[in-house]
């Protein structure tokens, strides 16, 4: 296969010896199978900013910290430099997240290097060395679905114990490898403690999985793993080996709206009194 223009710099640097074939094209990147010395790897070529169909939502980028204040200002103002910086940050997040999750025992591809917008990483294979299929390409039995769902729930728990939430988890970014399920596509991953939407993203991830596996095992559709996992995390009781039930007791008591309004009114009155006091103090302090 002819070497794509974006991979040519890696060939010149000796990082890639040959492009074998294109594996897939997604909204964020093109995936190629490449030969690097004696090994076969995966090359994820991130699409350029003006060619992507998926935009970096503020929901995902909230709470990401940068060390360079000039860069941060440019990103917030969406200048041309800022847009490129945001694009580079998006790529770096995936590499950092893959490394963090691997250290936490989560099954993800091993990253090797990021160069000129191309991420070289482990190629996930199935039995007999064939390319591992995505879950959405498989027909599962009810028993397989339950096993896979519970296994992924444990992976999500490990991710959250490492303070990470995938944010876009579904049957489209889980591979069935020879050693089990492998979670992929993590540039949008968030740090749970820094993002106000963390709970809703975690619940959505688990609901997506339940909806998919529920096609083959309908009993999974009634599970509420996302809210259970978040509740345990919030209470400081979530650990990598926590036993999950899939159920959570919901608070059915009606909201005390009147009590909330009384509390708000009390605060407003105190603030109003404080403002009047400051005004009177300044008025009497003026020289006559």
Contact (Cβ atoms closer than 8 angstroms) between residue 145 and residue 217: yes
Distance CA 15, CA 9 (A): 9
**Would you call 224 a catalytic residue per the annotation?**
no
Distance CA 156, CA 170 (A): 12
Distance CA 235, CA 227 (A): 12
Parts of the chain with a pLDDT under 70: 49-90, 250-256, 259, 274, 277-278, 281-288
Q: What is the pLDDT of residue 242?
A: 95
Q: What is the pLDDT of residue 93?
A: 87
Give ∠ CA 2-18-32 in degrees, rounded to 5.
Answer: 75
Q: What is the pLDDT of residue 258?
A: 74
Contact (Cβ atoms closer than 8 angstroms) between residue 220 and residue 213: yes
Condensed to tens digits (0 to 9), the pLDDT of residues 216-272 reads 999 999 899 999 999 999 999 999 999 999 988 765 566 667 767 777 777 777 777
Catalytic residue among 17, 185, 207, 265: 185
Q: What is the pLDDT of residue 256?
A: 67
> Domains plus CATH for the chain?
8-234 (1.10.510.10)
Catalytic residue among 137, 147, 168, 243: 168
User: What mean pLDDT, rounded, does the chain reach?
Assistant: 85
**Would you call 185 a catalytic residue per the annotation?**
yes
Contact (Cβ atoms closer than 8 angstroms) between residue 170 and residue 211: no
Note the pTM of the prediction, 2 decimals.
Answer: 0.77
Q: What is the pLDDT of residue 272?
A: 78
Joined tokens for residue 209: 């999985």
């Amino acid at each position: 296969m002819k070497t794509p223009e974006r991979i040519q710099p890696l060939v010149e640097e000796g990082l890639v010896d040959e492009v074998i074939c294109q594996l897939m094209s997604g909204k964020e990147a093109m995936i190629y199978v490449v030969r690097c010395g004696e090994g076969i790897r995966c090359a994820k070529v991130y699409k350029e900013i003006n060619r992507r169909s998926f935009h970096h939502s503020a929901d995902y980028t909230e709470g990401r910290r940068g060390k360079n204040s000039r860069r941060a200002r440019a990103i917030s103002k969406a200048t041309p430099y800022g847009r490129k910086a945001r694009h580079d940050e998006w790529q770096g997040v995936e590499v950092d997240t893959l490394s963090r999750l691997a250290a936490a025992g989560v099954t993800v591809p091993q990253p090797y290097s990021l160069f000129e917008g191309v991420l070289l990483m482990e190629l996930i294979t199935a039995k007999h060395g064939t390319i591992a299929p995505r879950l959405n390409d498989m027909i599962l039995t009810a028993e397989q679905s339950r096993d896979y769902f519970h296994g992924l729930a444990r992976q999500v728990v490990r991710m959250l114990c490492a303070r990470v939430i995938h944010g876009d988890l579904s049957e489209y970014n889980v591979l069935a490898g020879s050693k089990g399920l492998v979670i992929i596509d993590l540039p949008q991953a968030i740090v749970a403690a820094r993002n106000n939407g963390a709970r809703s993203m975690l619940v959505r991830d688990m609901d997506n999985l339940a909806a998919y596996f529920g096609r083959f095992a309908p009993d999974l559709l009634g599970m509420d793993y996302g809210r259970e996992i978040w509740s345990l995390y919030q209470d400081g009781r979530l650990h990598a080996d926590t036993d999950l039930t899939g159920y959570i007791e919901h608070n059915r008591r009606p909201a005390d709206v009147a009590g909330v309004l009384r509390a708000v009114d009390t605060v407003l009155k105190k603030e109003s009194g404080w403002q009047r006091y400051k005004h009177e103090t300044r008025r009497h302090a003026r020289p006559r």
